Amino acid sequence: MIFPEECKTVGSADEKPAGERVYFLSRYLVRRTDTGHEVWAVEPEAGTTMLRAIKSSRLLAGAADVCMYPEKVNLHNRTDLIRRALATGKRCTVFTGGLDEHRTFVCDPSEEELFTIHVYDAEPPRPNLAHNIRDLEQTGLFGGECTVQFCYHIADIRKTDAEAYPPAGRQDSPGRLTMTVCGGVMKRSQGA
């Protein structure tokens, strides 16, 4: 999978106001052609100027393999971008950011790059841990450099063969029967 670490290394070559020169940080170019967009890897020549001649270049994905994603997205949520790229069915997907119009791309997307965390929770009542993590996930908190995805496992305790369920409210109240799950085994304890 080719996925630039930062969008500042991805340049646009739709027009050539600087001729055959590129910005010194550019390592990739998204170039518009008559048949669509292409994605190139470039290496600028050494130097001290902001715009530099191209030392070498190679085509990463031709127009037939590139999808220009139709919506503006959060370019910093890498997990979300990988998922969106996989959904396009194309070899390479180019994304545009919301406010700043920067671009990045994912070429040969793969979920193998994502770190999976399994979240175990129970209901009823509401599975708070799972809901809170989902809310945080929606903000993009875990999608940056972490490239984390969550796999949720919500157990419905109504389907267990138990005589009592955990009471709502404080678990340590005197006289209350509480139950906890430890390693898949229900354990009972009597409150003091």
Give the pLDDT score at 159: 84
- As a whole number of angstroms, the distance between CA 59 and CA 71 comes to 25
Q: Which pLDDT score is estimated for 90?
A: 94
Q: pLDDT tens, position by position, for the chain (192 residues)?
A: 777 777 788 888 776 655 678 888 889 989 888 899 999 999 999 989 888 888 998 999 999 999 999 999 888 888 888 999 999 999 999 998 877 788 889 999 888 878 888 999 888 888 888 999 888 887 777 766 677 888 899 988 888 776 665 555 444 544 444 444 444 444 444 444
What's the pLDDT score for residue 185?
A: 46
- Looking at residue 72, its pLDDT comes to 92
Looking at residue 147, what is its pLDDT?
78
pTM tops 0.85, yes or no: no
pLDDT at 18: 58
Q: Which long-range contacts (C-beta less than 8 Å, at least 24 apart) are formed by 68-76?
A: 68/36, 68/37, 68/94, 68/96, 69/93, 69/94, 69/95, 69/96, 72/96, 72/97, 72/98, 73/97, 73/98, 74/98, 74/140, 74/143, 75/7, 75/102, 75/103, 75/104, 76/140, 76/143, 76/144
CA angle 19, 23, 24 (to 5 degrees): 130
The Cα 68–Cα 84 span in angstroms is: 11
Q: Where are the domains of the chain?
A: 7-105, 113-190
* pLDDT of res. 144: 67
